[in-house]
């Protein structure tokens, strides 16, 4: 593997930058600032670098993801505990698809993705507001455009998720209190998961930080962003649990990552200022920015779009 180069793509000062998604049709990196309540579109050049143009959609609720729909008619976004399709140009809600957990006012959706068939998968969290024990009020859901299916409960902070190259394994993160990434057998036909195992155990070392957002590369390995860790973006073999590569991004809290650019050879990393003290921000003034990592010697694959054919 070649020597990676970490560069600033955009000095964003995001409170909680998350959920990067490369849109090849527009050659844009879509990402959200959850606490800033915005969806952002960062235009890229022909190499996958920034052309310094960033468009922001300011919303009225906290989005945790923004995924283009297959029809091209809008963006799938979470807004608090709701899943909606919004207008990509002005942020207006085109359709509210469903909402969850009306009795849990503090909960909200966090990391979410779509599987190969375009079905939504995502989990909720109750933000920790004090010392341990941390709340475990989160749940994992899926949605096929018609019905919502509940898969897991008792989750602390529902976070990064993805699938193996063959689509037979589902990877899913509980950042707190478990501090682990799990693997499940995935039945694509029935949209069910089973046989939960620990794939990557972050609880073994404080130096690893907390597993947050993740993505899979073209070799089936996982890239994980880790707030508060010494090596804050790490490549893992999810089959063996072996750590393969460590990257240093000059921020306090890297939050998620995805591959993109015209050749899918750039890793984009989001970050945030959330819960960072003045000394940390002074030490890492680029916190909240968006980064690009090149020279990794490995590529990613196109991310899955949301199939809105049954719900629009």
Q: What three-state secondary structure class fits 285?
A: coil
Instruction: Please determine, for residue 309, whether its predicted confidence score (pLDDT) is greater than 80.
Output: yes
Per the annotation, does 159 bind a ligand? yes
| Average pLDDT of span 281-285 | 93
In sequence order, the 6+-apart residues with CB closer than 8 A to the CB of 277 are: none
pLDDT band at 216 (very low <50, low <70, confident <90, very high): very high
> What beta strand segments (E) does 24-74 contain?
28-33, 38-44, 50-58, 66-68
How many whole angstroms separate alpha carbon 268 and alpha carbon 42?
Answer: 11
151-158 CB contacts, 8 Å cutoff, 24+ apart: 151/192, 151/193, 152/123, 152/193, 155/123, 155/124, 155/125, 156/125, 156/128, 157/110, 157/125, 157/128, 158/110, 158/111, 158/122, 158/123, 158/124, 158/125
| Average pLDDT of span 50-58 | 89
Query: Hey, which of 76-80, 128-132, 207-211 has the most confident mean pLDDT?
Result: 76-80
Per the annotation, does 110 bind a ligand? yes
Percent of residues, the chain, with pLDDT higher than 70: 99
Instruction: Give pLDDT, residue 51.
Output: 79
pLDDT band at 132 (very low <50, low <70, confident <90, very high): confident
Q: What is the pLDDT of the chain when averaged over all its residues?
A: 96
Strands 138-143 and 120-125, by their bridges, are: antiparallel
| Average pLDDT of span 236-243 | 98
| Average pLDDT of span 57-81 | 98
DSSP class of 106? T
Q: Does the predicted TM-score (pTM) go above 0.85?
A: yes
Per the annotation, does 11 bind a ligand? no
pLDDT band at 128 (very low <50, low <70, confident <90, very high): confident
Tell me which residue of 212, 252, 258, 257 sits closest to 230, measured CA to CA.
252
- With vertex at residue 290, the alpha carbon angle to CA 287 and CA 291, rounded to the nearest 5 degrees, is 100
Instruction: Please determine, for residue 130, whether its predicted confidence score (pLDDT) is greater than 90.
Output: no
Ranges 39-48, 140-149, 223-232, 240-249: which has the least confidence: 223-232
Give catalytic status of residue 187 as yes or no: no
Instruction: Give pLDDT, residue 228.
Output: 83
Instruction: Please determine, for residue 1, whether its predicted confidence score (pLDDT) is greater than 80.
Output: no
Buried b / exposed e over 83-100, threshold 16 CB at 10 Å, is: bbbbebeebebeeebeeb
Among 23, 162, 174, 212, the one annotated catalytic: 212
Region of residue 269 (phi > 0: left; psi between -120 and 50: alpha; otherwise: beta)? beta
Instruction: Please determine, for residue 246, whether its predicted confidence score (pLDDT) is greater than 60.
Output: yes
Instruction: Give pLDDT, residue 53.
Output: 82
Per the annotation, does 108 bind a ligand? yes
Instruction: Give pLDDT, residue 52.
Output: 78
- Evaluate whether 203 touches 221 at the Cβ level (below 8 Å): no
Phi, psi torsion values for 207, nearest 5 degrees: -65, -25
Per the annotation, does 18 bind a ligand? yes
- Domains in the chain, please, with CATH? 5-294 (2.120.10.30)
How many whole angstroms separate alpha carbon 93 and alpha carbon 103?
Answer: 23
């Amino acid at each position: 593997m070649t020597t990676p180069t970490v560069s600033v793509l955009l000095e964003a000062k995001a409170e909680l930058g998350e959920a990067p998604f490369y849109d090849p049709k527009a050659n844009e990196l879509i990402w959200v600032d959850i606490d800033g309540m915005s969806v952002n579109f960062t235009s890229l050049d022909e190499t996958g670098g920034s052309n310094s143009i960033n468009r922001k959609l300011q919303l009225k609720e906290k989005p945790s993801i923004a995924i283009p729909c297959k029809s091209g008619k809008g963006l799938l976004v979470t807004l608090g505990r709701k899943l909606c399709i919004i207008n990509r140009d002005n942020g207006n809600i085109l359709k509210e698809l469903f909402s969850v957990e009306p009795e849990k006012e503090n909960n909200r959706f966090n990391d979410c993705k779509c599987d190969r068939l375009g079905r939504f998968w995502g989990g909720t969290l109750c933000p920790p507001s004090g010392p341990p024990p941390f709340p475990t009020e989160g749940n994992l859901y899926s949605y096929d455009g018609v019905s919502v299916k509940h898969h897991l409960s008792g989750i602390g902070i529902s976070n990064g998720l993805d699938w193996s190259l063959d689509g037979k394994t589902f990877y899913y993160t509980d950042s707190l209190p478990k501090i682990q990434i799990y693997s499940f057998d995935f039945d694509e036909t029935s949209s069910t998961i089973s046989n939960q195992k620990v794939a990557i155990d972050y609880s073994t070392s404080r130096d690893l930080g907390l597993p947050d957002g993740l993505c899979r590369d073209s070799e089936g390995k996982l890239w994980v962003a880790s707030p508060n860790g010494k090596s804050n973006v790490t490549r893992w073999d999810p089959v063996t649990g072996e750590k393969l590569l460590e990257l240093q991004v000059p921020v306090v809290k890297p939050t998620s990552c995805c591959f993109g650019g015209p050749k899918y050879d750039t890793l984009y990393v989001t970050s945030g200022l959330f819960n960072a003290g003045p000394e940390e921000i002074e030490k890492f003034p680029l916190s909240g920015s968006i980064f690009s990592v090149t020279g990794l010697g490995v590529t990613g694959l196109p991310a899955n779009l949301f199939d809105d054919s049954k719900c629009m």
